[in-house]
Structure 1
């Protein structure tokens, strides 16, 4: 069995390769002028993301052995993961004070799955098992929430006239927004679907490889990876559906000045 240390030894060579890869990503983003809709370049964001990842993973590597010793510390760490995910997703979707609504789709997708796993005994209340499983699910919900929220609000802004036309025909504001935003928001499911469809043929995801490196049999690794992929599809489907509903009801929007009604919420 190939040891993890043989696959990726933690030495100076690995550090140099990581630095070069990060520099390549930053350079390409800068030369290609990759930017978001507000012309904010991604080169700086990539550099900061890489550095933050290094610092955060180093900190987690130190803390993980500490928090798994007691249930209160474990729950606190899980809440921290959730809070960071909500803040990240919310601020990716909007700059105003409705960002905290991102907590709803993430919780709605992740919490039932985690509770079911604990009640059935498939995952014990131990940090070494609960933290990675919950982290994977929160990460999937975060991605789906961001993609669905951004796509839905972008579509409503671009096709605002169609929303107004639908309301003129008698549609309620929520129903009019749903008709316009639903196809765009639903595209947030595509990354998860494609990953599940191509698993084993195009990619060998992290859970599968990690199990193998940990000494598990290929069969057990495959079962665990199948669970992760199916659970992620469930989590992401719920997250997308909830985000779409929040956008349609005007609770999650990009208005600079928040309307106190559910009606005026799709413009910037």
Structure 2
């Protein structure tokens, strides 16, 4: 009906979501029983996110997308746990890691696609920069840095409108769990700020690696 070309993809995504959430619902209690299983599950999430992002961007290997995703997620997650802002328990770490990995995956995909598309579409400008004496990295950054930075817009909008347009899942979940509205708000604020940090690092790393010629289609 809409002729957007995404009808089959939407259907497949919905079916996959049902199946995957069903499996996770069955195993989540066992996963949270120990740090070993929690760490393994986080590893699976990280791998799936890397493969998904690499395919969307057009990278031939998932390891290329895993670099910016990992830099953003594990740096921020380690900082949160190390400073004890986030309790060092599987119940707290696992869902937080999932949220951060999902955000980093989206940011990496959007930044990678925008950066490579811009470099392709504005190849003449890139070559003009080289002719003027720019290095390959600097010429590429002049073309793709600002367009790729637009990948942060969804996270910025979510943070700016929180509580006015949406009531995010972390806030509602903590509130329904019996915490006070202040505690729920503090938890959601922590998640939003962490997401901004994760996505900023992921986007910056993606752009830098593309500009250096490390990541390409």
TM-score bracket for the superposition, by shorter chain length: over 0.9
CA deviations 1:24-48 (Å, max 9, x no partner) are xxxxxxx1211xxxxxx31111101
**For residues 8-61 of structure 1, what are the alpha-carbon distances to aligned partners after superposition, in whole Å with 9 as ceiling and x for unaligned?**
xxxxxxxxxxxxxxxxxxxxxxx1211xxxxxx311111010000011011111
Q: For the residues of structure 1 that align with 2:126 and 2:134, how far apart are their CA atoms?
A: 9
SS for the counterpart of 2:164 is coil
Determine whether 1:56 maps to 2:20: yes
> What is the aligned partner in structure 2 of residue 23 from structure 1?
none
Q: State how far apart, in whole Å, the 1-side matches of 2:62 and 2:97 are.
A: 22
Q: Which of 146, 154, 171 is matched with 2:109 structurally?
A: 146
Q: Does 1:115 align with 2:100?
A: no
Q: Determine which structure has greater relative contact order: mean sequence separation of CA pairs < 8 Å that are 6+ residues apart, divided by chain length.
A: 2
Residues 65-214 of structure 1: matches in 2 within 5 Å?
65-94=29-58, 96-214=59-177
How far the C-alpha of 1:120 sits from its partner, in A, is 2.3
Map of 1:32-43 to 2, 5 A cutoff? Answer: 32-34=2-4, 41-43=5-7
Provide the rounded CA distance (Å) in 1 between the counterparts of 2:87 and 2:23: 24
SS in 2 for 1:244: helix
Question: Aligned equivalents of 2:119 and 2:189: distance in 1?
Answer: 36
Deviation per residue, 1:184-231 (Å, 9 max, x gap): 000001111111111111111111111111121111000000001111
Gaps of 5+ in 1: 1-30, 35-40, 255-268
Matches of 1:139 and 1:84, distance apart in 2 = 10
Aligned counterparts of 1:87 and 1:121: Cα–Cα separation in 2: 31
Q: Deviation digits for residues 89-124 of structure 1, max 9, x if unmatched?
A: 111101x42442111111110111111222223334
- Residues 87 and 99 in structure 1, CA contact (< 8 A), matched pair in contact too: yes
CA contact (8 A) 2:54 2:60 kept: no
For residues 228-247 of structure 1, the C-alpha deviation after alignment (integer angstroms, 9 at most, x for no partner) is 11110000100000000111
Q: SS of the counterpart of 1:196?
A: helix
Normalising by structure 1, what TM-score? 0.79
- Report the Cα offset of residue 129 of structure 1: 1.3
Q: 2-side partners of 1:117 and 1:229: how far apart?
A: 13
- In the TM superposition, 1:218-229 aligns within 5 A as 218-229=181-192
Instruction: Name the SS for the 1:215 alignment partner.
Output: coil
Which consecutive unaligned segments of at least 5 residues does structure 2 have? Answer: none
RMSD: 1.1
